[in-house]
């Protein structure tokens, strides 16, 4: 069931999502309250990053609501009121982090609109994904490579993680992992995760 949740102090900000995601909705509203206390003025269309996705404030003073990118359309220019999709993935990202022994504070916020580097391998069956240090040129730090074939530097391409909501949605479950983590994907499943010390910390059953 989709429900609306509201702030108490931040100029009537609301967010809509599946009621099972209430804890994540309240985190968003807490962030809005913090912005209000710091005298940050909300504007129609203003974007904020929370976890893996940017969100927009829509509406007017006294009647603001938070919207997620519309990944079923054009996520760059269109948004939707129901934030269930992005918050559901955020819940999966936090659950994976907890399974790996990571605290929420150890997960790194990164916009799905930042770039990843890959040798045109998004549709390969087996992929290796590694998080290196991000750069200032909208590079998230994620580098992908194919485990099924040899590639070379000339094959390298860049795209954004927003593209992966359709092409490789399982990749988005690991997007918040810190620098140094390596993930192996088979189709749309996470098969193995290695920590920065190269210890195998997760393997699919």
Q: Residue 60 is encoded by which pair of tokens?
A: 């007017």
Q: What is the pLDDT of residue 112?
A: 87
Q: Tell me: pLDDT of 8 over 70.
A: no
Scored b (16 or more CB within 10 A) or e, 168-187 reads bebbbbbbbbeeebbbbbee
Name the pTM for this structure: 0.89
Q: What percent of the chain has a predicted confidence (pLDDT) above 70?
A: 98
Q: Residue 180 is encoded by which pair of tokens?
A: 């140094």
Higher local confidence (pLDDT), 151 or 25: 25
Higher local confidence (pLDDT), 67 or 156: 67
CA–CA distance, 23 with 16 (Å, rounded to integer)? 12
Q: What are phi and psi of 49, to 5 degrees?
A: -100, 130
Q: Tell me: pLDDT of 39 over 60.
A: yes
């Amino acid at each position: 069931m989709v429900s609306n949740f509201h702030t108490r102090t931040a100029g009537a900000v609301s967010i809509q999502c599946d009621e099972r995601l209430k804890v994540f909705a309240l985190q968003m509203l807490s962030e809005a309250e913090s912005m209000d206390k710091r005298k940050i003025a909300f504007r129609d269309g203003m974007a904020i990053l929370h976890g893996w996705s940017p969100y927009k404030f829509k509406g007017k003073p006294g009647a603001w609501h938070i919207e997620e990118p519309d990944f079923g359309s054009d996520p760059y220019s269109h948004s939707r009121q129901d934030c269930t999709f992005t918050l559901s993935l955020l819940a999966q990202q936090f659950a994976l982090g907890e399974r790996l022994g990571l605290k929420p504070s150890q997960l790194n916020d990164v916009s799905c609109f930042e770039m990843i580097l890959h040798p045109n391998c998004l549709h390969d069956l087996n992929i290796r994904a590694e998080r290196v240090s991000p750069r200032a040129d909208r590079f998230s730090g994620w580098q992908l490579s194919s485990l099924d074939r040899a590639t070379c530097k000339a094959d390298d391409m860049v795209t954004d993680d927003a593209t992966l909501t359709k092409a490789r949605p399982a990749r988005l479950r690991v997007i918040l992992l810190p620098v140094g983590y390596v993930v192996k994907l088979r189709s749309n499943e996470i098969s193995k995760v290695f920590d920065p010390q190269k210890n195998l910390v997760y393997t699919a059953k």
